[in-house]
Structure 1
């Protein structure tokens, strides 16, 4: 059996490797089609402005390249100039709004590096931060740049970019861009020459009208130009019309015959790594074939080493032999010596791959400089065609070998699979059973902790990508379960857990997940929620079911469920945070009377001394402490004044705000009692600290019809001890009823100092300032900050200051670091500020560097 398994694994590995090779052939096929289309476009378009869009259309079939541009090196200015630009987000003006923008940007970076570069959005920003280049335009999610070479010199950069995070560039697509760039320079050169030829034709045609002699000359030149163009077309057609490499050699020979004497012609290929020269095509009147040879000192080697076209007549041949530049390995008969020899290198972006040679014997033809120029002109195009054909030949050979091996291995695999199929099916059944046992509770058959945490992790990851898909976790602890075990035994307890699991399953949807963590603890994962109320509905159904009596061993018993609920939040990063919060809410429900549910609130995780946990319930037995902030201004003698800002703190809730009091107070009456306690303690603290003025936040509840009497009684008892300013929040005053507004005005008439807190937090309503006689006006930190940033807010501030000056109100700017901006706000007319406490040295520095002393 082990031998069969080993053979199966080996064959599977080989099959996988063969499929990979097939994928490579498929990629090569795409490359070939793209190059064929590029060659066709280079042969047909009339000018460069039409070539680049055509190249862009070709790329979009294989590469995500809606945003694509080409920059080329200007030989005169030696800077990168934009040749083509197409972008989804930026207009062409964005690309040209700065001088030498491409030299300084990521395109110039690729040009200097001379190699393909792929950046993600984050990688590009990091590189820009390192100073490698300057970031320009709208940042792309993926950017790839490929250098464009002409022979061995880089002449520009081809770049494509994507603004879609999911639309990246694979290695195959980048390879396609690199291959396209290899032939781009040749295509550009061909179109440029065609443009030049057409331009020359037009210029010469106009000149023909002046002279008949000039007309004849121009006609001949045009004929030559058209002849060259036709030759280029024929060479371009070789890429698609030649059946194989040998057919391509033959067609090349026929083309050369149309431009010069080519009765004796051979094509040689040079392998730089092995150092051998092969002669795959040879037509000669004295020899049928030329054998391969090592690189030596012949005429062919001279062309390859110099990378230039060589024209050799007998006189030059003698000079080359005498100087030792050319050496003959064996003597050649006189009649077999070439009397005129013309060889041109086949150059590509990877270097010289070979040469094409025409030679004449017995002075049948003497090659001229025109012949030299013509064969040089066509050799570059021939090199590109041959390189493509050679690559295709190698790929086809590999494909046929691959196909044969795949067929053989497939037959072997089929036979092996027949024997292994039954064993695989049996093993799958065993693995499925093992997986089920490992991820489900053995007692209730519900998912266990491992499976629940796995699913919760997937749900959290999905929520982080799609925040609109909310979820909730219910942590359930059964009440009185220990009593059931003690009274009826563990077997009855196990049966009770099974029954409870079935009941809980009836309360949730099919796609929700119910799991048993262990003991009497269950958890539920609810997904696809639109509001927290849906989780509360499930909790209510569970609580209602648990209120019903259970019958076990002819005994009727009652239990219950304490449930903690936590709803999805963006600040959740790990599943243990979710379980922790749901567990905290469950314990709060259990300590609050059991058989109920509680929603998680961050305050539940605050630490409480163990000895106080038994006595604290909601806001009962409320011990308070206070903290202060200093309101600082400078009078004419550059002295500072200190006011006291008091806030109550609860040992569980921390710093109390009215929103928190509303949530945890049992009712409105308790809320009012807590606020009055805070007010009395603020009086005492202010007297003990000898504070000139204490600012105490109050809620609008104290201005109610019945509450106002208690409020004024507390205030009257404290009169004469210390002065308090009662701060009311602007948003609450805006929403206050007529009675509350009337009582607010009464406070001012009774001689109490009142203030408006958080003014202009979301909008600036000046009618509040004119209707009520406030003594202090505390601007919101948001408004104070925006006064420095936007002129429109400064206009609003001037309106506020105009009213407050008439009403004799003190306007106070506040914020966590407002003192850092004191000098700036002072220019806008603000000279009262409230912020965090600072040391004496810091106060001097913030208020006035030249101030010698500060009075507190």
Structure 2
């Protein structure tokens, strides 16, 4: 008897333990299902107003929550605000009309305590009598409040209450509420980001609709691509989410409806062994139950025989009947005869398994080429999905019992592993987010000063070991950013900074680094450079991009960017020196007129006076003189042509060509005045020195309407027409207006000689050589250097030489070290080079002071 009692006691103990385990797994299952549903809702709902009802519906499956509300902290007003409210007794008007101050009530009490609180019966009133909080609204029999946290900071309270005494909250239900609150803030952020993304998509869509017709066509094509991609996504989901083949057919029908007319649709499967057609799915106005039939000569069989999509209208149907390719098994009335029929084969790797067909009666719809292409496009994907489901269905039927036993045994293990995996994934995401937040700007998402300096330190150390791998730092300050904040508000200023950061990111390579130092200051680290021109190209793109005005609320503000550049050098020992020099160059660019870039020069930090820095961009105050360079051949024989260039004595940059100095002009009128004076003086010196042919660089400003008349008056002498060739910068001609191009052609008609200067500096525009009749072409030193370093540029050079040979244009190479490479350049087909510079031997212009007196 004692053994029997002991055995019963042992069995009872085991039974209690099993019940506890079952309860534990049941609770775990509820938690898991609730979290999965919450994740699905956060991934699917379009806005926050839909998220809270979805959460409420999830909770009602596990917790008494007919009365449920969510209160969140408004970070701007620092008050608790009602985000969602559902109550059995109090309507939404109660908390709104009574002007609830939630911080004073029991909700605020939970918010202050920061922990879950559960009141039963009269406990809430007793706590209110003690002065802990005020009772707002109808008192509940059971009330539970759970704080909502985001990154260890409480942001709100989730509340469930019951007016039924018998309907209390268990520990497991309270635990479920606490777990839901842990993931609520994450779900809210995901929905907010989706709302922001959808808002940005709408804004961009509205902007695209205002573009020209060409852009609209491109947008329509892009929409078609996205639509097709969305269709592929839907079909792919069928392969993984839909369990039953009948659901697949229904979903396929819905997909076809979204792309074309599919009121009448059927899917046929072909069994090659039996030679029969089966119709597992059919929706038709006149024939809802299509029976299996042997292979015959119908429209469906035509698709299967040809293995191609067939588009059949009334006219083609008559031709097919007359030719005997198609036969009708029995006479049918015109009412029941399809007036437009479209069928596509379902092709797989094993061959054609059937077809999908749409048809229209009584001319309700006429299928066209777009329908033909779309159904052909989706039929291949649908065939793969159907093949997979048919195979899975057959396999499932043969192994159904075995799968059932395996599923039961592995169910508990899968659930446990899934829960652990979710915890691990969530922890990883939290750790990654913490690291990201510590090293990135919260507004723009760009790397912050700390991360930039760390990367710059690594780059400097690498450069000290490998000096041939150059780098550059661009210090960018946005012009007139204060005007945007003042006129449009700080929120618009934030949007402007976000837009600027995205635009700047498109101006650099993937391995380059863009960071925000703070305010309106940005900095870029360019690595793996071969010359300074690459850094200059990036600065030009940024300045050109910032010329577009920023508009918001109907107000447009013109901004800009001043860029300071410092290039790597062995004297740099610390990152502070690099940032200091880039900042000094930026300051100089801002003083010189803004919306420009400047490289760092030692004189910028070597005691140059403030007056010199501020006045250095006044071009008419600089001393000017001329230098002449003869054009020679490979064997150093002098040609009749020579290059005449104007130089000025800049207080910071020293002796510098006018091509560089003209960007220091105070305005357009000043530049034009100085350039016309230089051209007049150049003509005098050319005639006095009796030079045969002189190439003189000038600006595209001279080709504008009024300026062109001044140019013609300056060069009205017939003799000077034969002696001088006007060189225009290739980049200016590339972006020249219609008036400028017309005046350039007028110069050619009047007998003037023209040429292109600094050709292919940033890209090779061969169409310019074809459209206009140039006499000379001066290659840029940057392009000449690239020809020697990269084979791809040699192909561009051969294209240039082929066109210039046909059009009889002389091609001349130039650069500071071009003579050192002339033997190598000869192998590429270049024959003419710029020789050494010297002053013109003229009694009227032999020194800088004489020219300076002329210009002043």
TM-score normalised by structure 1 residue count: 0.29
TM-score normalised by structure 2 residue count: 0.29
